[in-house]
Chain A
Amino acid sequence: MVLFDIMYLGQNALFANQTGVRTTSENIANVNTPGFSRREAVFRTAAASSFGGLRLGQGVRVETTRRILDGALNARARRQNSIAEGSTARANVLARADIAFGDLEGGGASAALDDFFESLDILAASPQDQTARTNVLATAGRLTETLNGYGRELRLLREELNAEIRAEVSEVNRLGAEVADLNSRITQSAQPSNDLLDRRDQLIAEIAQRSGLQTIEQDNGLVTVVLEGGHTLVAGNEVQELVVVANGPLVDITAGDGGVERDLTDDIRSGSLGGILRARDEDLAATQTAVDDFVTTFATEFNARHQAGFGLDGLGGRDFFALPSPGASSAEFLRLDPGLSNDTLAAASDPTLINGDNTNALSLAALRTDAVVSGQEPGDALRGLLQDFGDRAFSSEAASQADGFAAQQLTELQQSISGVSIDEEMANLLRFQQSFAASATIIRTADELTQDIIALKR
């Protein structure tokens, strides 16, 4: 049975509505309500009141119930919560990318590169062997596909975030509108309603989970909500909505602030929205650039060496890899040169010795240990960029845990002040019960005595 049902049954309602028990009961009923601050009854003296012939409290009545909270602590907890939500969102996005290309078991592009170089070694050992040539083309194809996969996954991961950004932005707008609505209801009511204030605090905390923010409370009870980067989301009873606009295949966040359109994409850096944007525009973008740069440098160097050699047809000067036109992702759109075949594969350096000369194949195979990609061997450069990504994923996870812990501690501190303790409330009720029972005993005695006196009257 719900607690309040009992309270409102019949004449009990009278009692329940008029005493501190109501506050206690309300606290108990809301023990699990997020954002509920425990209440304390505030009494004041007033004229005696009576209900149904029952004279109640001589000169004392409940004036209001006060919310027990620490505003500065709440702001700190909210800020830390924004940071923690941001770290978690970032870590979640990077964990998805980790599945896409952080996998160690298959070895990914590092293993594909090893395969490719192994096939070049075998070609160098048997340049006359057609199967060695076929093998080079096959491993090159697999390497190309693996790198394409990296490029595609990174692009898709970033693009898939569009939907999440839209969802978070529309949630921020909805919450902002509700805060604006509560602002006007709070200023309209003569006495501040604790439920409305709690609700507003809770909504602002929910916005803060999505974007870092600051609040400015005015004397008239209005709260202004300013998002990270300075956009005023809620001013009085007005909400200035965030807008999602397309920017190529990705989306940006803008907002009109007093008629001035501004881009907030780079401003929001905490809250889940901030975390997603950070992962997208810092971590994944940097990884994407690193992979593209690697592919461009590697393919260009390989092509230069390949051009120096001659195929079985005695012709040279041909590319091995086909890089996309500038602007497109070289990782995603790297291909083998369309004309590449066993015959055009340039293993020979001497056009007159095309069938047996492995000199150019040696030069191609030697790329494995030549420090040609940013001063590193290609394999090391590739593993290095994977490690850089791994560092980001690893540190984001660590930050998510540390920030989450800090937020949890502040929340606990907040709970320690504002949270309801069933035991504490129960102790209140028991105290009431005991004193009421004592009163009842005294009353029985007094009743007997006064009746005895009244009986003296004839």
Chain B
Amino acid sequence: MTAPAEPSRFARGTSRVPDLIFRSGTRIFALVVVGLLILLAIQLAVSGSQVFRTFGLSFITGTTWDPVAGVYGALPYIVGTLGAALIALILAAPIGILTAIFLSELAPRRVAMPLTFAVELLAAIPSVVYGLWGIFVLSPILKGTVEAWMIGAFGWLPIFAGPPFGIGLFAAGVILTIMILPTIVSISREVISSVPNNQREAMLALGATRWETVSKAVLPAARSGIVGAIILGLGRALGETMAVTMVIGNGEHIPSSVFDTAQTIASKIATTFSEAQIGLQTSALIGLGLILLVITIGLNIIARLLVWRASGALGDGPA
């Protein structure tokens, strides 16, 4: 790779007119990406500002969403979003990290290759197909097995109280787990692979077992990158729309237990935006979107910085 050595591959001194035109032409296209991101943020902020002007911070803390009365409070959807993402994170983080360790450190190449491929394909399946599968296959299974069992065993705890609907916050969390696993696995795997080999060799030479090598030499070195991978997964879980909309049950209240129906910010927008009255109601929905945007962009910036730092020079190596 020759790139990092010089600031740019073609010297700035080129004086030929066609080259200058080409250069500035490509620059415009490159700036489109930056421009779109800025424009998107500004546009959502402007269109969503009306609801914040009307309700101030009580838009975030309010629990009533009533278009007829003209009252908008976002708390049920914020709780729904965080709840579903949290369930996904609790399930996906350990499974994802262990899978990444298995694929990059423990498995022989002929096992690791097809499994890695399968994990990549997991990310390729469209969200709406997961949603369809979630409605008709996953939720009935969850209802009869995990949910019934957990309510039986832990039902005395309010957050595990029944009845099991199948559809609801928990089903959404499980679907999200499946959808964010590829993100966590593939990025963790890359970060773990970029830990220098002499770290492993030193541990093995001291007589450490394979697992001790992984847990005491490799993981500490890859820690910040793995945290980044998990945060990226979290960001994806917070913003995922279709599959969640289809299995969360669209309940317009703060969920009382993990098996209750709920609504995330994204699913609320998806189910109501096209029928909303232009004005305060659309502004309220865009305001919800703005909250989601701020959270996901914030998480993405933190995560990218962590991953870039862990896998080498700041974005100059493959990230």
A binds B: no
